[in-house]
Amino acid sequence: MQLFLLDVTLILVVARGLGALAGRVGQPAVVGEIIAGILLGPTLMDGAISDALFPADVRSSLTGIANLGLALFMFGVGLEADAGALRGRGRLAIGGLLGANLVPLALGIGLGFYLLSGYSVRGASPTAFVLFIGLAVSVTAFPVLARIIESRGLFATELGGLALAIAALVDVVAWAELAVVQAMVGGGATLWRTALFILYGAGVLLVVRPALHRLIRAERSQRAPAVWTFPLILAGALLSGAATEAMGMHFILGSFLFGMAVPRTSGGALHADISDGIARLTSVLLPVYFVVAGLQINLTSLKISSLWQFGAILFVAVVSKLGGTYLGLRTQGMSARPSMAIAALMNTRGLTGPIVVGIGLQMHLIDGELYSLMIVMMLVTTLMTDPLLSLTFRGTVKIPGSIREGGESAELQVTGRP
C-alpha cells in the first residue's frame, strides 16, 4: 500500500509539472501528461525504473484507477456534446465533418493495408485491423480542441463555435465507428453485439434521458434533495459503462452514451456543476491512465526500419486531416483562412487518440510497436496545432463575419496561447 500511495503521488506531481511546463511553451497540458507516462515507462533505462516503481500488484491497482478516470472522462465528453451547437451551422458542420472524418478514414484504411503485414497481431481480423487504423487516423481530441479555442479567445466567435460543432460530430462518429470495430472483433457474435448495443443506445436516449430530465426538474423545484443528484448521475454513468462491458463492448461507450443522455436544457447551472465536478475528478485520475498507458511504450525497442512506417503514419494523418477538413469547408463556401484554422484544430489528437489506440492494443488488434508509433504521431500532431494556428493567424487578421466568401468582415485578435 505504501508503494501504491507513493506511485500515485509521483504520477500526479510529474504529470502536473510536465503539464505546466507544456503550457509555458504554448502547448496543451495533456502533451506534458502523455510525455510523463512515456518517461515513467520502460523507455528510460531499459525498464529498470518502471519495474522498480510499478511492480505487477501496483500496476493492477493503478489500472483500476485509470479505468475509472477513463470512464468519467468519456462521460464528460458525452456531457459536452451539444446538438444545439449545430443550430444555424448545419451545412458547414456537415461539410467539415465529411472532410475531417471520411477523408482521413479512407486514407487511413489505405494506410492500414500498408501496415497489415508488419503490425497486425496474429489471429486478428484483417478487416477490423484496417478499419481500426482508419479510425485512429481520423480522430480529433474534442476536449483539447475546446481548451485551445478558449485560450485563444475564439470561444465566442462563429469560427470557434463551428470548430466545436464539427469536433463534437467527429467525436460521436468516431465512437460509433469504434463500436463497429469492436463488434467485428467479436467474430460470430458481431451481429447480436451490434443489435444489442443499438437497442441499448436507443433505450438510454429514449428512456433514461426523460428520467434524468424529471430528476433534474425535481431537484430544481426542491422536491428531491440536491445532494443526491450528482451521485446518482455519476452512478448511472458507471453502471452504463458496466452494461456495455457486459454485452462485449468497451465500457467507455456506455459512459459516453450516458453523458449524451444528460439533458442540457433543464439542467442550467446543475449541468455546469456536473461538468465542473467531472473535470476536477478527471484532472486527478486521467494522469494515472497516461502512466499506465506509458508502461506499454518502449521507444528504445523501435527499429530503424520503423521510421519509414512512422513517416507514412504521420504523413497520412496530417495530410488527410488538414486537406480533408480544408476542402470540406471550402466546398461549402467558407473562406480560406478560417478553413485552414479549423483544419489545424481538427488535427489535434492528444487525449482522445491515445485512448483509441489503447483500446486497439487491449483488443489485440495492434502490437506494442505500432501502438508506440501511433502515440508519437498523436503527440506530434497535437504539438503542431499551436504553430499552425499562429501561422494562420498572424496578429490581427480579417475574418469574414459570416466566415463565408464575401461575408461582412470583422477584426479578430488571436494572440493567446493554449
Give the least confident one: 80-94, 308-322, 352-366.
80-94
CA–CA distance, 281 with 359 (Å, rounded to integer): 22
Give the least confident one: 93-97, 101-105, 290-294, 404-408.
404-408
Tell me the pLDDT of the chain averaged across its residues. Answer: 83
pLDDT for residue 184 is more than 80:
yes
pTM of the model: 0.82
Higher pLDDT pick, 134 / 25 = 134
Grid cell listed for 324: 480533408
Q: What is the pLDDT of residues 132-156, one digit of tens each?
A: 999 999 999 888 888 888 777 777 7
CA–CA distance, 27 with 153 (Å, rounded to integer): 15
CA–CA distance, 33 with 16 (Å, rounded to integer): 7
Higher pLDDT pick, 324 / 31 = 324
pLDDT for residue 179 is more than 50:
yes
Question: pLDDT at position 229, please?
Answer: 78
- Greatest mean pLDDT among 99-113, 204-218, 268-282, 297-311: 99-113
Contact 383, 27 (CB under 8 A): yes
Question: pLDDT at position 327, please?
Answer: 95
Query: 2 in helix, strand or coil?
Result: helix
Which CATH entry fits the domain spanning 2-413: 3.30.590.20, 3.50.50.60, 3.40.710.10, 1.20.1530.20? 1.20.1530.20
pLDDT for residue 412 is more than 70:
no
pLDDT for residue 374 is more than 60:
yes
Give the least confident one: 12-26, 75-89, 197-211.
75-89
Domain ranges (residues) in the chain: 2-413
Once rounded to an integer, what is the mean pLDDT over residues 299-316?
88
Rg over CA atoms, the chain? 21
CA–CA distance, 148 with 155 (Å, rounded to integer): 9
Once rounded to an integer, what is the mean pLDDT over residues 60-64?
91
Question: pLDDT at position 37, please?
Answer: 87
Per-residue confidence at 183, pLDDT binned at 50, 70, 90? Answer: confident
